Amino acid sequence: MKKITIGILILGLLMGCSQNTKIKQAEAEPVEKVIVYENENYVDYIDTSDIKTDVESINKKFKGIFSKYVQYKAPNGKTITIIAQDQVTDEQVLKAYNVLSFYLTSHKGYDMTGVANAMADSQAILMMPNGADGDSNIKESIMYGQPLYQLETPVTGDKWYINNDYEHRDASYEEILHMVHDNGIGTSSNPGKLPELTSTIKGAMENALPKSKSDWGKKGLWGYGSKDWLLELSKEGSLEQEYIVSVLDSYYGLWSAFEEKGGMWGIYIAKDRNEIKEKDPMGLEALESFLPEYLTYMDRISPDFEGTFEMSYKEELAYTFKSQYMNKARLTGEKNSNLSANDRDNILMGNKGNNVIDGKDGVDIVQFSGSSFEYEISDNQVKDLRGRDGVDTLKNIEILRFADKDVQFN
């Protein structure tokens, strides 16, 4: 919301009709008028300015161990905290926030309001330590939340993401869904707010495993070569959680570039969405009962990215196995990088540099940082007169979104 204060000069003229009447000018009186520019379509997306550093306000014991945090506000007004150590970048923290917000959005038949509120009520917390699993020396009394490690959190467009580096494979979707599952949705051993969804996921998991435990790890759709792990999960009551994240990772393209068969290191039968549909239709039905076909959050592309980021699948660019499922994207940083969307309706944002943004097909929107009067608009370019968004060259864009209004654009 933008506010502009304008001083208006009110001039009054008192005029007479007779020859002896003098023209008198009233004293000028400044009147302050506040005009509020508000575009109801405009979304103030999460940004680095939302990250805070007073970690002791969350827990005094966090001081000197964690360095920053961001909070998701649940519908009941309470918060879910994501807290991180110093080697975790701001962009990694915001990636985690976006994935959490994605899960807590009501996409289909299930209302996630109760899930978000339950998580906030129970003070659920995501902890992002330095290094990888096994590297942390944080005491158990401090490390009591759901972990997501620094070396397992690629940012869209960074070198781990672009190269499909499975040594730094993306565990964010898995670990954050674990947190949502355990603290909100619920499991058969720990009921939560969505018992029907719990039952659906359990049914798909049971279908994926052989009926006889003697065949676990040898047959079925999930758990290949991992019998001991499956038995351990069974004792913990974690089979449902681990199964559904295997389906999810393959569904959103995280294992499509994996050189071996299957997904999730080969323990799941399906590598991609088509294979899930063919080989595990119950898993597909369970996942699609609460999550959408495409990612709906505003994905932040790494400030280190250079070139043109593609959101359509291209055989020569293996990272597009993942990026093809993005609907919203924003360039970050100051590089003169570019953004090429897909055939769906996209919302796109540039960065501080000069960008070329191509919406491709669909009805595409480019959102800017300020109000329309702060920009110079020409046939195919938009220039920020205040220097925040640089000069953007636009192709196949239908709508320009400013803080005060939407502008039709060809």
Residue 42 falls within a domain, yes or no?
no
Of residues 12 and 55, more confidence is placed in: 55
Residues 358 and 261 in one domain: no
From CA 189, how far away is CA 152, in angstroms rounded?
28
Q: Are 350 and 363 in contact (CB under 8 A)?
A: no
Q: Are residues 234 and 311 in the same domain?
A: no
pLDDT above 90: residue 29: no
Q: Does residue 295 form part of some domain?
A: no
Instruction: Let me know whether 217 and 349 are in one domain.
Output: no
Is 258 in the same domain as 369? no
In a domain, 294, yes or no: no
Domain's final residue, options 261, 288, 315: 288
Helices (H), 45-171: 90-103, 113-121, 159-162
Same domain? For 283 and 346 the reply is no
pLDDT tens column, 53-105? 999 999 999 999 999 999 999 999 999 999 999 999 999 999 999 999 999 99
Whether 173 and 261 map to the same domain: the answer is: yes
- Does 147 share its domain with 11? no
Domain that residue 226 falls in = 48-288
- E strands present in 112-182: 125-128, 146-147
Residue 293, in any domain of the structure: no
Q: What is the mean pLDDT of residues 359-388?
A: 96
* 246 close to 259: Cβ distance less than 8 angstroms: no
Residue 299 covered by a domain = no
How much is the pLDDT for 38? 87
Question: Which pair of tokens denotes residue 187?
Answer: 């499991």
218 and 309, same domain (yes or no): no
* DSSP states of 314-331: BTTBTTHHHHTTEEEEEE
- DSSP class of residue 147 equals E
Same domain, 242 and 326: no
End-of-domain residue from the set 253, 288, 323: 288
> Does some domain include residue 354?
yes
User: Are 57 and 167 in the same domain?
Assistant: yes
pLDDT tens by residue, 166-191: 999 999 999 999 999 999 999 999 99
pLDDT at 17 over 90: no
Regarding whether 211 and 154 lie in a shared domain, the answer is yes
Q: What is the average pLDDT across 294-321?
A: 98
Query: What's the mean pLDDT when you consider all of the chain?
Result: 92
Q: How many domains does the chain have?
A: 3
Range 289-310 average pLDDT: 98
Asked whether residue 241 is domain-assigned, the answer is: yes
Amino acid at 166: Y
> 323 falls in which pLDDT band (50, 70, 90)?
very high
Q: List Cβ<8 Å contacts ≥24 apart for 200-207.
A: 200/285, 200/286, 200/289, 201/240, 201/243, 201/244, 201/286, 202/240, 203/282, 203/286, 204/243, 204/244, 204/247, 204/280, 204/282, 204/283, 204/285, 204/286, 205/239, 205/240, 205/243, 205/244, 207/282, 207/283
**Rounded Cα–Cα distance for residues 381 and 392 (Å):** 6
Distance CA(354)–CA(335), nearest Å, equals 8
Kindly state whether residues 241 and 203 are assigned to the same domain.
yes
Of 235, 260, 288, which residue sits at a domain end? 288
Instruction: Tell me if 355 sits within 8 A of 369, measured CB to CB.
Output: no
**pLDDT tens-digit profile of 335-365?**
999 999 999 999 999 999 999 999 999 999 9
Residue 298 within any structural domain of the chain: no
What is the predicted pLDDT for the residue at 10?
30
Task: State both tokens at 99.
Answer: 């994935």
